[in-house]
């Protein structure tokens, strides 16, 4: 079991939803936090509640801002990339700017952050990386242009890092949640199975962070269903579609 107490985590995507709830849980467990997202006001109101938290507002699409923020952090034990943008979109209603923005925030933003953090962790021979993906990253789903592909890319990135960083002292973990009741899912008009509160989801992420297991998908049995669909032949999945 990894103890988060006394360790410094850079939590990116901390201002709302899952990230905000996770910041509270990590702080309750004695972690020091660096809180990032775009909305500085929301971050400051959160940090005022927490025992030891510093605000570094930034936009992950801004490479210079990410570099500056990373360079300003002295001691760092772990990073949590929880940033996410989602707009439901069908291929028949393609909006290029929206799709590109989702890809930039969900995936390229992670590359920007990891590009600063991973070499540093490898040099220091330790570090803890948590990437928040999505069950939507396992299989192309309807009306998820931009979102699904960017989460699939994040899953692939984590899997590659898991191979490459073995034996470096750097721990990589991938956490793939199902539906959480946040401003992102307010955009969905369909019924969302096993919808979780941000607090429940944050508790599950914290539990995953304390383990060394690479991949955590939740909530079961919804996550099992998604993984099973991934194993089905195309003939069955696309039958009649």
Ligand X SMILES: NC(=O)c1ccc[n+]([C@@H]2O[C@H](COP(=O)([O-])OP(=O)(O)OC[C@H]3O[C@@H](n4cnc5c(N)ncnc54)[C@H](OP(=O)(O)O)[C@@H]3O)[C@@H](O)[C@H]2O)c1
Site residues, ligand X (CB under 6 A)? 13-19, 37-39, 42, 59-61, 82-85, 105, 132, 134, 177, 179-180, 182-185
Q: Rounded to the nearest whole angstrom, what is the least distance from the CB of residue 131 to ligand X in the complex?
A: 9
Eight-class DSSP state of 81 = E
Is 98:142 a contact under the CB 8 Å cutoff?
Answer: no
Q: Rounded to the nearest whole angstrom, what is the least distance from the CB of residue 236 to ligand X in the complex?
A: 25
The CA distance from 134 to 218, in Å, is: 9
Name the residue among 104, 74, 108, 102 with its Cα closest to residue 89.
102
Q: Rounded to the nearest whole angstrom, what is the least distance from the CB of residue 233 to ligand X in the complex?
A: 26
Q: Rounded to the nearest whole angstrom, what is the least distance from the CB of residue 211 to ligand X in the complex?
A: 19
Q: Rounded to the nearest whole angstrom, what is the least distance from the CB of residue 169 to ligand X in the complex?
A: 26
Closer residue to ligand X, CB minimum distance, 40 or 122: 40
Closer residue to ligand X, CB minimum distance, 8 or 134: 134
Closer residue to ligand X, CB minimum distance, 87 or 122: 87
Cβ atoms < 10 Å from Cβ of 135: 22
Which ranges in the chain belong to alpha helices (H)? 17-28, 40-47, 63-71, 96-103, 109-124, 147-164, 198-210, 222-231, 234-237
Which among 86, 138, 147, 238 is annotated as catalytic? Answer: 147
Q: Is 147 a catalytic residue?
A: yes
Name the residue among 36, 77, 35, 32 with its Cα closest to residue 51.
32
Eight-class DSSP state of 52 = S
Closer residue to ligand X, CB minimum distance, 21 or 76: 21
Closer residue to ligand X, CB minimum distance, 122 or 139: 139
Is 96:146 a contact under the CB 8 Å cutoff?
Answer: no
CA atoms within 13 A on the CB side of 232: 15
> Annotated catalytic sites, by residue?
147
């Amino acid at each position: 079991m990894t103890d988060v107490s006394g360790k410094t985590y850079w939590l990116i995507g901390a201002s709302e939803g899952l990230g905000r709830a996770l910041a509270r849980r990590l702080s309750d467990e004695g972690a020091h936090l660096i809180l990032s997202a775009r909305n500085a006001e929301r971050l400051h109101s959160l940090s005022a509640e927490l025992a030891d938290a510093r605000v570094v507002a930034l936009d992950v699409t801004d490479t210079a801002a990410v570099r500056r923020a990373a360079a300003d952090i002295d001691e760092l034990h772990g990073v949590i990339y929880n940033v996410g943008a989602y707009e439901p979109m069908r291929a028949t209603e393609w909006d290029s700017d929206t799709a590109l923005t989702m890809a930039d925030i969900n995936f390229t933003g992670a590359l920007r952050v990891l590009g600063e953090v991973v070499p540093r962790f490898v040099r220091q021979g330790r570090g803890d990386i948590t990437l928040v993906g999505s069950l939507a990253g396992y299989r192309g789903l309807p009306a998820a242009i931009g979102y699904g592909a960017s989460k699939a890319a994040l899953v692939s990135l984590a899997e590659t890092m898991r191979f490459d960083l073995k034996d470096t002292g750097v721990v990589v973990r991938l956490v793939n949640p199902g539906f959480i009741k946040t401003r992102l899912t307010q955009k969905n008009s369909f019924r969302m199975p096993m919808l979780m509160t941000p607090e429940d989801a944050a508790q599950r992420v914290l539990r995953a962070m304390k383990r060394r297991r690479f991949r955590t998908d939740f909530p079961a049995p919804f996550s099992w269903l998604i993984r099973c669909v991934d194993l089905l032949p195309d003939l069955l999945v696309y039958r009649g579609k």
